Amino acid sequence: MRALPRLAIAALLVAIPAAAVTVTVAAHAADDPTPITVLTSDFEDGTVQGWSGRSAETVAHSTAQAHGGTGSLLVSGRTAAWQGPSLDVLGTFEKGTAYTISVWVRMASGSDNARLSVERRAGGVAAYDQVVGNTAVTSGSWVNLTGRYTLASDVEFLRVYVETSSTTGSLHIDDVTASYVPALPIQTGIPSVKDVVTEFPVGAAITGAEIVTEHGQLLNKHFDSVTPGNALKWDATEPSENNFTYAQADPLMAYAKANNLAVRGHTLVWHNQTPSWVFTGADGQPMTATAEDKELLLARLENHIRNVAAHYGTDIGVWDVVNEVIDESQSDGNRRSSWYNVTGLDYIRTAFRVAREVAPHAKLCINDYNTNVAAKRDHLFNLVSTLKAEGVPIDCVGHQMHINVNWPTIADTESMLTKFIPLNIDQQITEMDVSIYTSNSENFTTPPADRLLKQAYVYRDMFALFRKYPAEITSVTLWGLADDNTWLDTFPVTRKDAPLLFDTRLQAKQAYWGVVDPSKIETSPSPSSPSASVSTSVSPSVSVSPSASVSPSTGTSACAVTYRITGSWPGGFQGEVKVGNTGTTALTGWNLNWQFTGGQKITQLWGGSPVQTGAAVTVTNASWNGNLPAGGSTTFGFLGSWTGTNPVPAAFTVNGTACAVL
Ligand code: XIL
């Protein structure tokens, strides 16, 4: 139901009094996806509404600029880029709840990049979480920063703040809001993925807050293993030379241990998320292929692996020792990273040798993406063959499997697996997700039903393939737990993606059923996606173009409605409704009404705009299918939820007139 939440947010914001307030709406149905606003600062009352600076900068109410209304907050006298407006949200933000924070920013003069962050302190130690990264801001217009934030641990200090990246000019902020969609309990009555897929352990990558509240329950219910998504990378564990810190990873590791989850260690050596000091020579210059630089870099590498792998000992049973070393656009297949440029292939040899010494119990993997692409696969195969022949202790090949609903084919994926069988090593699927997008230019605010269906087929077919190779595949890990937290929301472009088995409210998707019980997936022909419907302008069954001149109707035409359930699975279903004009006058717009008698709820609809109040549903035509000539018809589709029974509605009206039910 796309239109409803937006209207509801707008209504809520309008209703909020002008002062800085913390609003908690108590009476809220647990399954209602309408966001609840917990803070709003509009600076319309002439005060700073609780905001202050982060140090000695001046914070004042201002009428020089306003995003909405007549007031904003002005921060001046900044002497460092990190200084900026900040608000206490301790007691406002609860642990484990994902808040969407939005702030409008405008420079008073000049331009810079602005960031939105949260500072939290526990036991007197501060940590800084970026909510929205560098975003260009100027004095010419307001810029919105919106991001999601989930507090993962207990704190004694919690403030949101805006800072800039380089200059110290004055800046305005306005119309700040934070809201959340109430969590739904996880579904406990459905099979656990790990109980259904028994050929190998199944895991999920997590990036922090997935170990608290409902996320933790979902993780425990469905998965055998966990991969810290960022917490074991070099920038997290050794941010400056020989200064090892495990503040990010230790809570995840403790959780894994307490909950009997195996851990994949990701990753010891990569070209990304590695601090620049690593590649800076003793002379302060970027390293080059000299003997001194090579020696220093390999020594740093050895020191890093010795410390990190030793810190966790046998708690980590598998390590991605090196990550993404192949570049198939190079004729030799070797990625020209700083690692390679300075040491050749010796960084890989050193990494595996040291990892084996420090973690002799652990499976040691070489991990890469697009290994289903023949050229990449073959370079990886050749490299592993060569290194293994030299005695480099590589135990496993990790296939990341960041794929999408259209790509790759099962055949190519099977060739990827069979290629490595002669090497007699383990294979692991390490970072699987299935994007709903097939190009960088697509952008859906809500995942279209046909993409989710395709995705379910992909998960079904890929898991069926993996399960054919139980002797080779020793684990399958998904790169995330649920669609509310996926790296694909910002990669390769910023847009909402939905690549995992559980939706943004942690409920099982068709993708989940694709893995767990494909007989429960929708089997009728794919519905058309909203974008496909829009691009055809008119539904194929409408016989006039939107511009055809028809005489307006007051809605007295006779009508016929066909309501079909085209697919059904536990808790969800897909429907199709045909609206026919059987009268003698053309309709220039239609409103279809019915009552659900089984407590069903529409969750998404294409080809019209739905409003549901309790059992009563009203669907209004989309812009392109409102014209229904006499004898014409149009069809729209929807997804809904149900429990118990899912009866077909008995009666329909179009523009207030009762229709024949066909
Ligand atoms: C991603 C993380 O999920 C993001 O949070 C981070 O910002 C960038 O890295 N291949 C890998 C993973 O091996 O480490 C990457 O993880 C995704 C691509």
Per-residue pLDDT tens digits for 177-214: 999 988 899 999 999 999 999 999 999 999 978 999 99
Q: Which atom of ligand 1 is nearest to the CA of 207?
A: 5
Sheet holding 111-122, edge to edge: 86-88, 157-164, 111-122, 125-138
Q: Give yes or no: 324 in active site.
A: yes
Structure-block tokens of residue 156: 């004694």
What's the CA gap between 415 and 424, in Å, rounded? Answer: 15
What's the CA gap between 242 and 238, in Å, rounded? Answer: 7
Residue in this structure with the two tokens 């109980």, named with its chain if needed: 195
Cα 479 to averaged position of ligand 1 atoms, centre (Å): 9
Which amino acid appears at position 433 of this protein? D
Phi/psi region, residue 462 (left: phi>0; alpha: psi -120 to 50; beta: rest), is: alpha
Give the distance, in angstroms, between the CA of residue 280 and the centroid of all CA atoms in the same chain: 34
Nearest CA to ligand 1 atom 12: 229
Is the minimum distance from the CB of 431 to ligand 1 under 6 angstroms?
yes
Q: Which atom of ligand 1 is nearest to the CA of 480?
A: 3
Cα 272 to averaged position of ligand 1 atoms, centre (Å): 9
Q: Which listed residue (44, 238, 368, 395) is catalytic?
A: 368
Is the minimum distance from the CB of 271 to ligand 1 under 6 angstroms?
no
Taking a C-beta distance cutoff of 8 angstroms, is the pair 435, 488 a contact? Answer: yes
Phi, psi of 76 (to 5 degrees): -135, 175
What does each C-alpha distance from 589 to 204, 553, 621, 623, 635 come to in angstroms? 48, 8, 6, 9, 14
Nearest CA to ligand 1 atom 3: 487
Q: Which listed residue (163, 175, 293, 324) is catalytic?
A: 324
Cα 329 to averaged position of ligand 1 atoms, centre (Å): 21
Burial of residue 526 (CB within 10 Å: 0-12, 13-18, 19+) is middle
DSSP three-state, residue 187: coil
Pick out the chain residues at pLDDT < 70.
Answer: 1-31, 523-557, 566-569, 624
| Count helices and strands in the chain by DSSP H and E runs | 13, 29
What percent helix, strand, coil does the chain show, rounded to 5?
Answer: 25, 30, 45
Taking a C-beta distance cutoff of 8 angstroms, is the pair 432, 401 a contact? Answer: yes
Is the minimum distance from the CB of 487 to ligand 1 under 6 angstroms?
yes
DSSP three-state, residue 304: helix
What's the CA gap between 152 and 116, in Å, rounded? Answer: 18
pLDDT of residue 557: 58
Alpha-carbon torsion angle 88, 89, 95, 100, nearest 10: -130
Nearest CA to ligand 1 atom 16: 229
pLDDT of residue 550: 31
| This prediction's pTM | 0.73
Residue 320's nearest CA partner among 226, 394, 378, 244 is 394
Is the minimum distance from the CB of 229 to ligand 1 under 6 angstroms?
yes
Is the minimum distance from the CB of 100 to ligand 1 under 6 angstroms?
no
What's the CA gap between 34 and 36, in Å, rounded? Answer: 7
Residue 309's nearest CA partner among 257, 374, 367, 353 is 353
Q: Which listed residue (431, 433, 472, 483) is catalytic?
A: 431
What's the CA gap between 53 and 37, in Å, rounded? Answer: 24
Residue 661's nearest CA partner among 564, 571, 566, 568 is 564
pLDDT of residue 482: 97
Taking a C-beta distance cutoff of 8 angstroms, is the pair 134, 192 a contact? Answer: no
Q: Give yes or no: 368 in active site.
A: yes
Residue 348's nearest CA partner among 333, 328, 370, 331 is 333
For 315, which DSSP code? Answer: G
Structure-block tokens of residue 205: 């990558």
Q: Give yes or no: 241 in active site.
A: no
Q: Which of 270, 369, 431 to mutate to test the pocket of ligand 1 (most atoms within 8 A of CB)?
A: 431
pLDDT of residue 627: 85
Q: Which of 226, 248, 272 to mutate to test the pocket of ligand 1 (most atoms within 8 A of CB)?
A: 272
Nearest CA to ligand 1 atom 4: 487
